[in-house]
Amino acid sequence: MSKLTMTTFLTIDGVMQAPGGPPEDPSGGFSYGGWLVPFFDEVTGKFMTEVFERADAFLLGRTTYQIFANHWPRVTDPADPIASKLNALPKHVATKTLDRVEWNNSSLVRDVVSDVATLKARYARELQVHGSAGLAQTLIEHDLVDEYHLLVFPVVLGSGKRLFAAGAVPAKMKLLHTRTTSTGTIIASYARAGKPTQGSFMLDP
């Protein structure tokens, strides 16, 4: 049984929309596409390589899948640690609108909430989600993410799609590890650790 992991690029205020370039996702009038590019460095690249080395398969939302399918098949170097994984490994696309997917080893998922357990059972290590803002909301709402890898870049945008929006299931997280980069990015990995607990600093009446 694999783990479902989510790796997400975020601003300090939690925005995950269009990190890699303006054309990725301008929906809602978002005009800051490409906001992470100035902060990407060797440490960030090394971390992402480590993430992809653990992948057995990918679960992607429609928009992210189409962005990836337009880019990564054109990266043909077999030594590229990310392209080689994305081009070869199974890619499950959560969509209700696409009728077919043509990128190598791709398949459609119509009911992601019902199908996650079956997909996880097919693999031994990680079923990975990258980007996929809409899919992320569904998975978070149904408490289906086992581990989060959050890369928080030192920029505030004030608008855009956010990872944890209304509807997120309250949860406590266990910090697995952290690192920082030369450009001020904080990379933190968390695992689910049950329900939130509460206390109080209030003085007794």
Give burial (CB, 10 Å; 0-12/13-18/19+) of 203: exposed
Supply the pLDDT for residue 15: 96
Specify whether the CB–CB gap between 150 and 162 falls below 8 A.
no
Supply the pLDDT for residue 205: 76
Supply the pLDDT for residue 204: 82
Specify whether the CB–CB gap between 2 and 56 falls below 8 A.
yes
Which of 13, 14, 16, 5 minimizes the C-alpha distance to 47?
A: 5
At 83, the pLDDT band (50, 70, 90 cuts) reads: very high
Structural domain boundaries in the chain? 3-192
Of 114-128, 156-170, 185-199, least confident by mean pLDDT is 156-170
How many angstroms separate the CA atoms of 108 and 181, rounded? 36
Supply the pLDDT for residue 61: 94
How many angstroms separate the CA atoms of 148 and 3, rounded? 11
Please state which of the four CATH numbers 3.40.190.290, 3.20.20.80, 3.40.430.10, 3.40.47.10 is assigned to the domain occupying 3-192.
3.40.430.10
Supply the pLDDT for residue 169: 85
Which 3 state secondary structure label does DSSP give 190?
strand
Q: What is the mean pLDDT of the chain?
A: 94
Quote the pTM value.
0.92
pLDDT at 1 over 80: yes
Tens-place pLDDT, residues 63-80: 999 999 999 999 999 899
Distances (CA, A) of 118 to 1, 4, 11, 55, 94: 9, 12, 33, 17, 14
Rounded mean pLDDT, 101-129? 94
